[in-house]
Structure 1
């Protein structure tokens, strides 16, 4: 027997051997049954494969539209939109603070005209769309709904997700606009409005992905994410919403890293924990207790050195997500440590999912690692460690208080620091970075954004403002300001505003004047 001590990044000790004598399996539930450890559907991928949803968006709406058609032709089964930083934080492309950032990390969307260009030739009633947008998510949802109405779609049938998870922005990512209480008000307005007007829409994707990207461990990822989920549920309950209605439209967004078995255990533990959390908060409908989640492979695990190695990393992460029971999946391009993915890299990433789906045999049985002494033990260990963190957060008064006190931020920063130390001292191996290096010159082609797009977007905005009915625009913005000062649901007013060609920045600024801005 080896005396080598192996501890995961999350601080869990891995035994050399697992047997029935040291594996305490107390959960004998079946897939599709509470607490859903083995999956939220009884047949899982034998009935329907996960949605292959490739995240894309860059430059102008026209350019992103070309990539969406390319991906649909390559076999994606759902769209996922990336927005540029000005759009994410509520600035139009002609705002001084948008200078140099327009279209760089995602697509620039300023008005309903951009939304029409983004989805030209795509019937919104027939496609599921995920939009990675948070602080300004309510505006993008309004734009999407307004476009669907223009297309003649039945709003009861359109489906998709907005990320809409502002708490993790304060803790890990930083694209917030308003203070926490105002942001929570907007989020519960979305819950309420969608439950009646857009019932198939997932109103939030409670995100551990960015918490992990910021440097957290697997345990911290699910502990902080589920704590944030509790905060959203409690806010909705305080608004008088029915947990058995809005609970069915909550979804989650997790990361997949390289430690295959710890990642599978993380996904299994998260489902079990959320089911118990929702039951304790009053849910009686099992569908409101199900943790449904999207996965993206780990961007922070990709290396600029020897970038083709990233194809192997993404494959391992894909297997972790699928064996962990994800409902949809984005696989990263091998070149994403260098630039936005090229078409070739995006195609290989999609083909990775398709090969796992149709050639690996992994989807042929439900929860294929269930019953493994190792995986069952690890699932229990991950769950135990995550509950301990959640109990600390609860003792502080919940996620909002824990974020305001800096607890989550400090925990994430400490884990990120430790990981970097381990890479630098060689305790942790990153192939091609601190071991098995190569002197070869990197010849990987990179994707470049044309700098002229900022002027294109600015010119579009000027043309829009010159031809729209500005009296109607001002009336819409005044109505929004009045509603924001009271308790009226903001979503119907924002939909009317975008239909009358109010811009994203104008709407966001109107609420800035009422709610103020958050400064960390």
Structure 2
């Protein structure tokens, strides 16, 4: 049996011969379709990649083996051969009863984890009967105003056995408290509960704009959850640092990578500054990335993220625990890429994006439903989205080997380019004093705005093709798509339950717990114990958030 020969780097003479003898005659016969080929992020893509593009890459140092530092090829030695990624479909709409039914339906069809979408009033810390909630109750997620709603949301779902991700940020500490009290009422052991709280307030100021408090007290609330969970809920991830919304706001793949990881660095710095040993809380930090249309760019982004985080945690923070260095992430396919025009095309987009996430080594995945550009998904559309993941897992063979694109000249070169670009952004942000200071200066916001503008101009010029939108357009849609409609009766039902809660609870106990919460905030104490007591007394989400509004004030974004 002959030995495999080492791949050699072509010298300049070899390249010139290929260009002269093979490339130039081919171009004379058939010119290329355009002068410049670009990724979705408008980065130029070379015609050909060879070992010469990997000249600065050392296998042992930069790529390595899966399950070993720097984890470029994955955090698990066997990839998906031992366990598939968690199929965690994002769900939440209308009332807690209806979302509970959707959860149970998806689990009956093979979903392996839950993910809660909350409505806009809940995300902003308002109760369903608030004037600020008018017209939004249950529309973009499930409405939760009190512990009573949370009890119904997870009725019949054993929280000790099912991992649950919660997409909530500014009032994350309140929803965490509600979740833990529901688990407590179920008789669950907090030390056995696993799941994830999004809790990433920095990306709200950067991209999604759903905030309550000024940046610095809001950061303190995040660190309070780190401290509390590390002591009382050790298997729970108190944060999912989210690049998803940064990308949806118009960031490039590189900006998503750089700003997300720099947000993660900021949280670690604040945790260490608060006196938490890095290896006590960093292993429970998780990440959340977007999967956009440019297949190879996305795969390179995920691989670069793992490598960068491993080096940052070891070299910048002195982490000793390998779990602190292993970047674990959830992926969601790109909602911003879905089109109203020819919506069934979105099934194809989602499948390709999901495949990129899997080839990039994601730990869990949500696949968008094809109708999400129109409304919240119907049962049928949600099922197709879940089946997309199952087909990738069971029929394509991509889960049979670890990091199947490792060693690709193109992918490795893109990975290195992503890495270098991210470190350049880190240097700029560090010069400003950190991510909080950069946000206060409007730096990431302006960078994203410019990228979004340039991408839109490329679409309008036709340089970036969107099938069905600026190419292959049809005068009439080929079929009508049924959509899920949330009517205004949801608000009536939620307000009625809220009134019942207020009527039967002990008003004096509620007032005392809210006062204790204010005092804890004023003294700079960890607010989680006081929040838990307020939740147990059935204080509402709005009442708890208002108590801290009185202490911290509210954030108003300056004009940049």
- TM-score of the alignment, normalized to the shorter chain, above 0.5: yes
Aligned twin of 1:437: 473
- Pick from 140, 154, 157 the counterpart of residue 192 of structure 2: 157
Aligned twin of 1:387: 423
- Pick from 18, 22, 33 the counterpart of residue 49 of structure 2: 18
Aligned twin of 2:374: 338
Task: Return the alpha-carbon distance in structure 1 between the equivalents of residues 93 and 150 of structure 2.
Answer: 13
Matches within 5 A, 1:187-266: 187-266=222-301
For normalisation by structure 1, the TM-score amounts to 0.99
- Equivalent pair of 1:56/1:67 in contact (CA under 8 Å): yes
- Equivalent pair of 1:12/1:381 in contact (CA under 8 Å): no
Q: Bigger shift: 260-269 or 275-284?
A: 275-284
- Equivalent pair of 1:133/1:164 in contact (CA under 8 Å): yes
Residue 136 of structure 2 is aligned to residue 101 of structure 1: yes
- Pick from 217, 220, 234 the counterpart of residue 182 of structure 1: 217
Residue 490 of structure 2 is aligned to residue 460 of structure 1: no
Larger radius of gyration: 2
Q: Secondary structure at the match of 2:90?
A: strand
Q: CA deviation at 1:404?
A: 0.6
Aligned twin of 1:476: 513
Q: CA deviation at 1:128?
A: 0.2
What runs of 5+ residues in structure 1 fail to find an aligned partner?
none
Q: CA deviation at 1:11?
A: 4.4
Task: Return the alpha-carbon distance in structure 2 between the equivalents of residues 394 and 12 of structure 1.
Answer: 25
Task: Return the alpha-carbon distance in structure 2 between the equivalents of residues 21 and 413 of structure 1.
Answer: 35
Q: Bigger shift: 447-456 or 298-307?
A: 447-456
Q: Bigger shift: 59-68 or 3-12?
A: 3-12
Task: Return the alpha-carbon distance in structure 2 between the equivalents of residues 340 and 70 of structure 1.
Answer: 16
Q: CA RMSD in A?
A: 0.9
Q: 1:196 to 1:473 in 2, by over 3 A?
A: same
Aligned twin of 2:433: 397
For normalisation by structure 2, the TM-score amounts to 0.92
Task: Return the alpha-carbon distance in structure 2 between the equivalents of residues 78 and 458 of structure 1.
Answer: 30
Residue 352 of structure 2 is aligned to residue 316 of structure 1: yes
Task: Return the alpha-carbon distance in structure 2 between the equivalents of residues 463 and 244 of structure 1.
Answer: 45
Q: Secondary structure at the match of 1:245?
A: helix
What runs of 5+ residues in structure 2 fail to find an aligned partner?
1-22
**Aligned length, in residue pairs:** 520
Q: CA deviation at 1:12?
A: 3.0
Residue 542 of structure 2 is aligned to residue 511 of structure 1: no
Aligned twin of 1:494: 531
Aligned twin of 1:267: 302
Q: Deviations over 1:197-219 (max 9, x none)?
A: 00000010000000000000000
Q: Deviations over 1:271-317 (max 9, x none)?
A: 11111111121211111011100000000000000000001100110
Q: Deviations over 1:396-431 (max 9, x none)?
A: 111111111111111101111111111111111000
Q: Secondary structure at the match of 1:142?
A: helix
